Structure 1
Amino acid sequence: MFGVPIHSFYLILLVVILLMSGSLISYRMQQKHPDKDYTELRQRVQSWWMMIGILFAALLFNQTLAIVFFGFLSFLALKEFLSIVPTRQTDRRVIFWAYLSIPVQYYWVSIGWYGMFIIFIPVYIFLLLPVRMVLLGETKGFIRSVGILHWATMLTVFAISHIAYLLVLPVKNEMAGYIGPVLFLLFMTQFNDVCQYIWGKRFGRHKIIPKVSPNKTWEGFLGGVATITLLGGLTAPLLTPLNWWQGLIAGLLISVSGFFGDVVISSVKRDLQIKDTGNLIPGHGGILDRMDSLMFTAPLFFHFLYYSYY
């Protein structure tokens, strides 16, 4: 419909309906309780409209623009990460090479060169960064700096680039098209965050890692895992080449890894004693606050799908 594969169109329509419902609920709450401050809620809803609009525009325009879009997200995420984590003055010339890895990595994605895509950052950038650092002649803080730069590149470039590579996989579900697996991953990851929050808010009693994320409970985690696992079994055959039982496994992978992505970035923020990783997205914080789960779910879902069907 409108040039969009029918199953992908239905999911996009569902997301738009959910956003409209959220906007209506936000408006009604403000009308019902004018004495309360709903600024953050309003900002969150408005930001969701903006983010979803840009995402859908990039995905639906063409494959190349979508790949460039995810490359730009990697740039923003790496920039934000390096802005909150202390680095040495001498590392600025090394950071240049970390940024340079973004267009190179996404070039491998665009030409579908899986072999280079999968080893470029874990092997070549892993070896290049410390070599460039050694040539600067500064040894104080060397181990810490090389660890920070490589981990930042792995999280923000390598992990996120798996989303883009889903776009170049041969289409095996004509009803969903090349955007189907991406929509499945993004929807399931974000809905997992919502489900774990709702289950935790309603039934949460036993905290999992109170020193890292006091609001995370076993009830919320298990409720989210059960919901997303079942939803994965229902929706995977519609948007991906996976069948229903493979969809259950995909849902389980996404729900569990999404939880760990969330708490890992929470650990980073607690270590740095900050609330948000940035203020790029009103009501949400920074780009890392919004993509924390995706940096863990994307590689695991991608490789499960890749080794199952490609």
Structure 2
Amino acid sequence: MFNLFFSDNPVVIVFVVILGLLIVATIISYILRKKNSEHDYTELKQRINSWWVMVAMFAFALLSGVTASIIFFGFISFLALKEYFSIIPTRKVDRRVLFWAYLSIPLQFYWASIGWYGMFIIFIPVYMLLFIPFRLVLLGETKHFLRAAGSIHWGLMITVFSISHLAFLTILPATEANANTTSFSGPGLILFTVLLTQLNDVAQYLWGKSLGKRAIVPHISPNKTWEGFLGGVFTTALLGTLVAPFLTPLEAWYGFLAGAIIGIAGFIGDITVSALKRELDIKDTSAMIPGHGGILDRLDSLTFTAPLFFHFVRYTAF
């Protein structure tokens, strides 16, 4: 463990930097609570504590090997799908179909683990798309049939299909020969995706707070502005340029494009889940992560960035 801090593995180096930032954030939070005891910093403390747990779990999964990473993302998909089904309206008869939706999770991640790209890319978009309505028909209930079929399949797409692309990233070096690929490519690609997705959220928030005036979708997310969006995308693209050669097989120019893709896709994922919450009249998808809301609140941007970055890097570097 001590040797990790002196490793030349770029993934380890990034996690050490993140660890340092969390330590600084924890100290600042403690000082604020001591000096301004009249203010309530409970949410700030909860957010930082949650980040400690999330970073620790994420680091353990990535640094423990391919199998651990795939199991970890499969479990995350299960939690996200379970949370999704807990907030959308469902019929009693739909419970018999939800079993098959959950069963698709280990199958989808199994296709990723063995590198069967053909089945991986069509299993949920095609086979589950055909199977779910067929199973619903066998129940004999036609009221709200379209809503049930559409909502179940869409839930699978964003919580299982999208997230499973992170699992497939772990085995890209093992299934594709590429001269520029290092032994750290799988974890590096995942860390690049997740890190830039999270930083894009922060950048768009900061740009929006400082310069934001013109709302993009005021009825869905009034705090999302053109200034915040454009500033966040440009910032993320620059970060991609700097980080890509360090964590991925991508050159700096491709890193810029990857960062721009993540910036744009992250924004779309964020407002898409916001639209879902608006329809359901809820603030958070759950209270699973103290200070952050639910797991879908944390994965909203990633559900769009993961598949788009996966296909970009697969066709440009492998």
- Please say if 1:72 is aligned against 2:75: yes
Counterparts of 1:11-50 in structure 2, within 5 Å, are 11-50=14-53
Q: Please, which of 156, 171, 191 is the counterpart of residue 159 of structure 2?
A: 156
| CA pair 5-72 structure 1, distance change in 2 beyond 3 A | farther
Question: By how many angstroms is 1:178 displaced?
Answer: 2.4
Counterparts of 1:235-246 in structure 2, within 5 Å, are 235-246=243-254
Partner of 2:101: 98
Q: TM-score, normalised by structure 1?
A: 0.97
Q: TM-score, normalised by structure 2?
A: 0.95
Q: Structure 2: which amino acid aligns with 1:67?
A: I
Q: Please, which of 213, 222, 228 is the counterpart of residue 230 of structure 2?
A: 222
The answer (yes or no) to whether the contact 1:234–1:247 under 8 Å persists in 2 is yes
Cα deviation, 1:35-83, whole Å, max 9, x if unaligned, reads 0101011000000000000110111112101100000000000000000
Partner of 1:196: 204
Distance (Å, rounded) in 1 between the aligned partners of 2:75 and 2:9: 28
Which deviates more from structure 2 when the two are superposed, residues 14-23 or residues 64-73? 14-23
Which deviates more from structure 2 when the two are superposed, residues 165-174 or residues 51-60? 165-174
Question: By how many angstroms is 1:6 displaced?
Answer: 2.1
Distance (Å, rounded) in 2 between the aligned partners of 1:66 and 1:9: 15
Distance (Å, rounded) in 1 between the aligned partners of 2:102 and 2:184: 33
Distance (Å, rounded) in 2 between the aligned partners of 1:24 and 1:220: 29
The answer (yes or no) to whether the contact 2:185–2:249 under 8 Å persists in 1 is no
Q: Please, which of 171, 175, 191 is the counterpart of residue 183 of structure 1?
A: 191
Counterparts of 1:157-172 in structure 2, within 5 Å, are 157-170=160-173, 172=180
- How many residue pairs were aligned? 310
The answer (yes or no) to whether the contact 2:173–2:183 under 8 Å persists in 1 is no
Cα deviation, 1:7-61, whole Å, max 9, x if unaligned, reads 1122111111121122122122212211010101100000000000011011111
Instruction: Please give the secondary structure, in 2, of the residue aligned with 1:213.
Output: coil
Percent identical across equivalent pairs?
56
Partner of 2:181: 173
Cα deviation, 1:115-168, whole Å, max 9, x if unaligned, reads 110000001011000000001111110001000000000010000000111001
Instruction: Please give the secondary structure, in 2, of the residue aligned with 1:178.
Output: helix
The answer (yes or no) to whether the contact 1:188–1:228 under 8 Å persists in 2 is yes
Distance (Å, rounded) in 1 between the aligned partners of 2:171 and 2:141: 42
The answer (yes or no) to whether the contact 1:159–1:298 under 8 Å persists in 2 is yes
Counterparts of 1:104-123 in structure 2, within 5 Å, are 104-123=107-126
The answer (yes or no) to whether the contact 2:11–2:191 under 8 Å persists in 1 is yes
Question: By how many angstroms is 1:205 displaced?
Answer: 1.5
Cα deviation, 1:75-98, whole Å, max 9, x if unaligned, reads 000000000000111111111110
Distance (Å, rounded) in 1 between the aligned partners of 2:271 and 2:214: 16
- Please say if 1:281 is aligned against 2:289: yes
Q: CA RMSD in A?
A: 1.3
Structure 2, gaps ≥5 residues long: 175-179
- Please say if 1:88 is aligned against 2:91: yes
Distance (Å, rounded) in 1 between the aligned partners of 2:121 and 2:7: 30
Instruction: Please give the secondary structure, in 1, of the residue aligned with 2:172.
Output: coil
Partner of 2:177: none
The answer (yes or no) to whether the contact 1:5–1:175 under 8 Å persists in 2 is no
The answer (yes or no) to whether the contact 2:192–2:244 under 8 Å persists in 1 is yes
The answer (yes or no) to whether the contact 2:173–2:185 under 8 Å persists in 1 is no
